[in-house]
Amino acid sequence: MSKAGHESELPGLDRRLTAPSTERWSRRVARRKLAPAMMVAGIAGVLAAAPAAAQVVDSSSTSSTTAPDTSTTDTTAVPVTTTAVPVTTTPTTVDPFDTTTTVTSVEGDSTTTTAPVTNFKKAGHVKDVRGDGINRPTATGSRQLVDGQGLTFFVNTNITFSTTSSASAAMSEASFSAPVNATTIGGGTTQSTLNDAFDGYNTLCVDVAGANGNCETGNSSYVIYNKNGPASSDAACPEEGIDFPVQSIVDNGSILDVDVKRQVYVPAGGDFARWLNTFTNNDSNPVTFRAAVSNNLGSDSNTISTGSSAGGAVSNGVTWFGSMQNYSGTTSSDVRLAHVLAGSGGSIGTSDLFYADGNDNPYWGYDITIQPGQTVTIANFVVGAATKANANATAASLAAGTHSGQWGCMTSGQKAEVLNFQLAAPPTTTTTTTATPTTEAPTSVAPAPSVEATGTLPYTGAGGELLPFAGAGAAAMAAGGAAVAATKRKLRRPRFRHARR
């Protein structure tokens, strides 16, 4: 085959098949010489790129120290919808306390003395309620609350007829259930079951005409809190508290649209009873009225004072006073009482007070101003004890607002509404709690900028440690590039080319 024919017959074959062995050898040598240079250049590139990558990670950490959530799976719990089955209750007008206690007789204050009833707790019936001057039909509802001394208070829970001293939330009786060490006229003590404390105590009325007197049935100047339906056990303290329904008092002769509500509380471990008398102004204007408290102590003409916050005399402005039935011979069978009308730090006190020895019908009142939509509360306490010294000491402690448990079974909102006592203000605790995060916030956040400024990564590993090698890597990369260029130039020299024949 001719030389020309040979070249034209094999135009598509790879030149490697026709190139002399000398040319193929020279190319293999070139590749072997290039390999170390390329490897050096690659390593240098990695070393140069590592600090830059570390700097990118570090700069991203300045915006957020929390890694973004890259999960594609939703781990949020799927809410389960449950439909509460409504419970239908049928309103009832039956007093829940009707089954245990009834009032069988309501009599007037007369000179006739009836024998003390000592079996209230055992029999479960109130047999003698005096105070209104006329006989009335049977009243429904009287619940017994017992304090820590064993003194039982009989609370009127659903009075269905018009009455003054025996109205709703008033007490018809207070008696010890067992003998106590009662004081005698000579200063000693004797075992006696004291009873007959009240013939109707702490009736509430609103004076709508400025009469400034005692609550009276049938007098249009007074609206008595009464005949409001059954009471219920307090939700927070069912064994110790009784909640009474709302009574709306509207007087067309003046601007007065007030809701009145009462609560009675006798702590099982305490030594007092408490009333919360709550008033809400439903009118668009401020209202001012007098709220009065009427009482029948049950001690008749033998009523005597045993002391007061003023040192002895009972007059308007005292925060408490004591009373008892005077001794007959050397003993007295009635409970020793103390009446707490206000606290020394309250925003208001009594506007009037009537008390006189020989008269068992003291009363007192409060002049109250309420803004539109505002709710306020007047608190009263009564103490029953075996000795007048104990009764007076407890009353003084209650008036100071420091007696154990006296504000039990009350919410913070109810405490804030009390006008005639100084209660501890809840905002003090709130201020302290709020201040804590303000102090802690800069402390926990402040270190972050200083850490990021040094270039330290927010994770443990290599990063800043590679920065010193950045210069060396760049130099190595440059050297590798120069070696590759030199090798290419060498390959282009004539002695590395195959001469054609």
Q: What digits encode the pLDDT tens for the residues 100-142?
A: 333 333 333 333 334 443 333 333 333 333 333 333 334 457 8
- Mark whether 140 and 248 lie in a shared domain: yes
Is residue 30 over pLDDT 90?
Answer: no
Total count of domains within the chain: 2
3-state helix/strand/coil string of 19-86? CCHHHHHHHHHHHHHHHHHHHHHHHHHHHHHHHHHHHHHHHHCCCCCCCCCCCCCCCCCCCCCCCCCC
- Mark whether 267 and 177 lie in a shared domain: yes
- Mark whether 182 and 36 lie in a shared domain: no
Is residue 93 over pLDDT 70?
Answer: no
- What does the mean pLDDT of the chain come to? 73
Looking at 363, 393, 425, the residue that finishes a domain is 425
Is residue 467 over pLDDT 80?
Answer: no
Looking at 425, 457, 478, the residue that finishes a domain is 425
- Which segments within 317-405 are labelled E, that is strand? 320-325, 336-340, 352-354, 363-370, 375-385
Band (419; pLDDT cuts 50, 70, 90): very high
pLDDT of residue 252: 64
- Mark whether 165 and 311 lie in a shared domain: yes
- Mark whether 477 and 419 lie in a shared domain: no
Looking at 395, 425, 455, the residue that finishes a domain is 425
- Mark whether 487 and 399 lie in a shared domain: no
- Which pLDDT tens digit goes with each residue over 276-324? 999 999 999 999 999 999 999 999 999 999 999 998 889 999 999 999 9
- Mark whether 172 and 260 lie in a shared domain: yes
Considering only 51-65, 270-284, 348-362, 413-427, which range has the smallest mean pLDDT? 51-65
Q: Is 480 helix (H, G, I), strand (E, B) or coil?
A: helix
* Domain membership flag for residue 464: no
Is residue 55 over pLDDT 80?
Answer: no
* Domain membership flag for residue 287: yes
- Mark whether 366 and 420 lie in a shared domain: yes
Q: Which residue has the tokens 């259930």?
A: 177
Q: Which tops the pLDDT comparison, 175 or 441?
A: 175
Phi-psi region of 461 (alpha: psi -120 to 50; beta: other; left: phi over 0): left
- Mark whether 329 and 476 lie in a shared domain: no
Q: Evaluate the CA torsion angle 408, 413, 419, 423 in order and state its sign.
A: positive
How much is the pTM? 0.61
Cβ-defined contacts of 401-405 (< 8 Å, 24+) = 401/343, 401/345, 403/272, 404/270, 405/267, 405/269, 405/270
Q: How many CB atoms lie within 10 A of CB 336?
A: 24
- Mark whether 275 and 399 lie in a shared domain: yes
Is residue 478 over pLDDT 50?
Answer: yes
- Burial class of residue 65 in the structure, from the number of CB atoms within 10 Å of its CB (0-12 exposed, 13-18 middle, 19+ buried): exposed
* Domain membership flag for residue 229: yes
Is residue 197 over pLDDT 90?
Answer: yes
- Mark whether 21 and 123 lie in a shared domain: no
Q: Which tops the pLDDT comparison, 477 or 297?
A: 297
- Find the domain containing 377 and state its range: 102-425
Q: Looking at residues 392-403, what average pLDDT do you find?
A: 97
